[in-house]
Structure 1
Amino acid sequence: MTRADVTDPFDPRTPRTISGLDDPKAIVAEVTAEIEAFLAEKADEFTAISPDAREIGRALLDYTRGGKRIRPVLLWWGYQLAVGEDFDRERLSSGLAQAAGSLELLHAAALIHDDVIDHSDTRRGEPALHRKFESRHAAKGYQGEGDSFGVASAIVIGDICLALSEEMFERSQDSLGITAQARELRATLRRDVMVGQYLDVLAEVIPLSDERIGERAWEVLSFKSAKYSVEQPLLLGAAMGGADAEQLSEISRFGLPLGQAFQLRDDVLGIVGDPAATGKPSGDDIREGKRTVLIAETVRRLSSAQTEILADRLGVPSLTDAEVDECVDMINATGGLAAVESFIEDKRAEALAVLDEWARAAEPVADQNSGPQSEPHTRLGDGAHRRLAEFADALSYRTS
């Protein structure tokens, strides 16, 4: 039996092969242009309210420049996975760039607040936003405590950035016609990252002896980052493109494990990453007290004496480099790091297996003796398959 016997190529519901996906660099350029134009417009509005509010616009324009733009690219590709070759680029690309850009603003808002929560001094090799406003306090000779002014400013600007992300998403519906399903997914994404942030804060005050330390770490990893960084942008883009429940489920099977691999790599970089590449000090997660999967896997392998040493040092900002290095040595020597590297490879392989299914579904089949089978709604040609596989590798094995 041939595939033509079980699908009607003239039925618009029949899945069609996606031959290619847009170049990430081109997507980033278009999304960045939309973000810059939108924030420049907002900056003018802030200045019109008061010349003192000019700094809000400047801060957001500066803060949102750079970064990997992973979420916008994945939202864009999710849309393409749903619409296939029917992407009306001339009519829809601006709206899609706005929807994608709104995710980058949501991400920026989360990072601004995250740096305040973690007492981080740097972001992407530059002073964190609250530190910049603390320096501004000193430079202008303002009264009161500079650090309090910096934190308050960052909290407010993070809130403004969050509100602007919603406004930018709403603008995108003018051309895309956002569906109820897309709105629901957008709300879920926003909810999950905020709940994940609270779970992260809670995990940092839970003793290392807690029996749920590993489970808690996976919860934080999944809801604070893995879902919101990879799975949900793909799902949101696909929903905006009209994907049905079956295709969304297929995309989730690819996106969630890849998001977990992405965040597991982030946890590794937070301990043993090169500061020149990550923009963060080496061992920063130890000083911040992060209870990551890497820490949980290490604790499982430590002696009681070693656990006590690690517990005393996690979350102590004043740790010396030698004390951090001793903790890193324990993480390496006990096999905690090796375990997480194995998890990364397993999750990456799980995601790539789904891509292979989508690619096989696009291949012509001369004979199928087993009768009609349930086939993936998503079908990838060589170019699209290669693009997603390369991106999966880049997320899983990145150095920054």
Structure 2
Amino acid sequence: MDVKKYLSDYSEEADLYLSNYFSQKRKEASGIDPLTVNVLNTLENFIQGGKKVRGALTVLGYKMVGGKKIDDILPVSCAIEIMHSSLLIHDDFIDHDNFRRGKPTVHRIYAKENSEHYGASIALIIGDVGIFLSNQILADSSFNPKLIIRAFHEYEDLLVNTGYGEILDIAFDKKTSISWDDILKIRKYKTAHYTFVMPLTVGAVLGGADSRVLSGIKNYGEPIGIGFQIRDDILGVFGDPKVTGKSNESDIKDGKRTFLSTKAMELVSSSDKEFLKKYYGSKGLRKKEVIKIKNIIKTSGALEYSQNLALNLAEKGKKYIHKVSKDEGSQKILAEFANFVVTRDK
């Protein structure tokens, strides 16, 4: 099955579940205050716009080890999506992003109602509420309690690593220089674990997978998750905003440390390096300087290097597919997922 079709089919089911779920949550919150209903609307609207890769991988992780109770795994997969969107709400504030999926970010929505601090405060708490709801759905799921506890342990362990990765991302951003190994470390912990390893692991655990399968998932998902982030970095500079829903200039204007910028600093001439040091992330950057920075990244070979690295990481992960599942259909979709995430256009 084509990955885009797989994601589209999953999204239809997930959106229906989420619509019913949030409708019930709004009823529960309506007796508190209209604002509590409003924030649930905001959270639902934010979730509805995503690709839902992680939720789809949760279902795949469950099915590939023989799981049959699709009606039971669907709520868990939606919990993973709620958690993901909640982390994005936090991340958007940390990164000062104004748009996500073509719409204003949550902290910007609420800042317009009052103040910057108000917008940030409400956004952070909405993200927290989403994480709490995610945990609640997993805890209340219909699986064997022992499997739920085991899944929770895996889930929380990988999310803690995500938190560590976010901390490293913030801290390393203040360094005067950053190495390729630093970038890899950040992406491994911030993105790779929770993008691929975590959802597949949660689904597989609830399907009764043993430790050998979980080891295979880690070996499959970690390199592909890093490849996913490399592709994200590329789209952040060279993607079409009409397709991605995000600016292709903000990473440059904000001086974001990415695979592209780090590799470019290694490869460029001394004069181009001085230009990057002067203008990459400088305040008041003009259009012509943004264009020149993009050209430097491209002509330095950093873009081509990053594209090839993402493809190679996908191939590395695919070597472990046979360790993850013996089912031919599952193996095929795992391979297609690996290819898709490093070549996608949004």
Report the TM range for the smaller structure's normalisation: over 0.9
Query: How do 1:39-58 and structure 2 match up within 5 A?
Result: 39-58=22-41
Q: Which one has a larger percent helix, Structure 1 or Structure 2?
A: 2
1:230, 1:256 within 8 Å by CA — same for their partners in 2? Answer: yes
Greater CA deviation, 105-114 or 387-396? 387-396
User: Rg: which structure is higher?
Assistant: 1
The aligned amino acid for 2:117 is S
CA distance in structure 2 between the partners assigned to 1:377 and 1:148 by the alignment: 46
Query: Paired residue for 2:159?
Result: 190
Q: 1:321 to 1:98 in 2, by over 3 A?
A: same
Q: CA deviation at 1:301?
A: 1.1
Query: How do 1:242-257 and structure 2 match up within 5 A?
Result: 242-257=208-223
Match 2:143 to one of 171, 175, 182: 175
Q: How many residues align?
A: 341
Q: TM-score when scaled to structure 1?
A: 0.80
Higher normalized contact order (CA 8 Å, seq sep 6+, divided by chain length): 1
> What value does the CA root-mean-square deviation take over the aligned residues?
1.9
1:286, 1:315 within 8 Å by CA — same for their partners in 2? Answer: yes
Percent identity for Structure 1 against Structure 2: 28
Greater CA deviation, 25-34 or 386-395? 25-34
CA distance in structure 2 between the partners assigned to 1:181 and 1:238 by the alignment: 11
Q: 1:128 to 1:318 in 2, by over 3 A?
A: farther
Return 5+ residue gaps in structure 2 as ranges. Answer: none
Q: 1:377 to 1:388 in 2, by over 3 A?
A: closer
CA distance in structure 1 between the partners assigned to 2:307 and 2:6 by the alignment: 29
Q: 1:168 to 1:313 in 2, by over 3 A?
A: farther
1:290, 1:315 within 8 Å by CA — same for their partners in 2? Answer: yes
CA distance in structure 2 between the partners assigned to 1:323 and 1:377 by the alignment: 47
CA distance in structure 1 between the partners assigned to 2:320 and 2:297 by the alignment: 32
Match 1:114 to one of 79, 91, 101: 91
1:96, 1:176 within 8 Å by CA — same for their partners in 2? Answer: no
Q: TM-score when scaled to structure 2?
A: 0.92
Match 2:21 to one of 29, 38, 56: 38
The aligned amino acid for 1:181 is R
Q: CA deviation at 1:126?
A: 0.6
CA distance in structure 1 between the partners assigned to 2:167 and 2:160 by the alignment: 11
CA distance in structure 2 between the partners assigned to 1:96 and 1:337 by the alignment: 39
CA distance in structure 1 between the partners assigned to 2:288 and 2:244 by the alignment: 20
CA distance in structure 2 between the partners assigned to 1:40 and 1:288 by the alignment: 38
Match 1:127 to one of 99, 104, 111: 104
Return 5+ residue gaps in structure 1 as ranges. Answer: 1-21, 138-145, 359-375
2:59, 2:73 within 8 Å by CA — same for their partners in 1? Answer: yes
1:75, 1:100 within 8 Å by CA — same for their partners in 2? Answer: yes
Q: 1:179 to 1:126 in 2, by over 3 A?
A: closer
Query: How do 1:1-400 and structure 2 match up within 5 A?
Result: 23-83=6-66, 87-88=67-68, 92-137=69-114, 146-172=115-141, 174-177=142-145, 178-208=147-177, 210=178, 213-316=179-282, 318-355=284-321, 358=322, 376=323, 378-381=325-328, 383-400=329-346
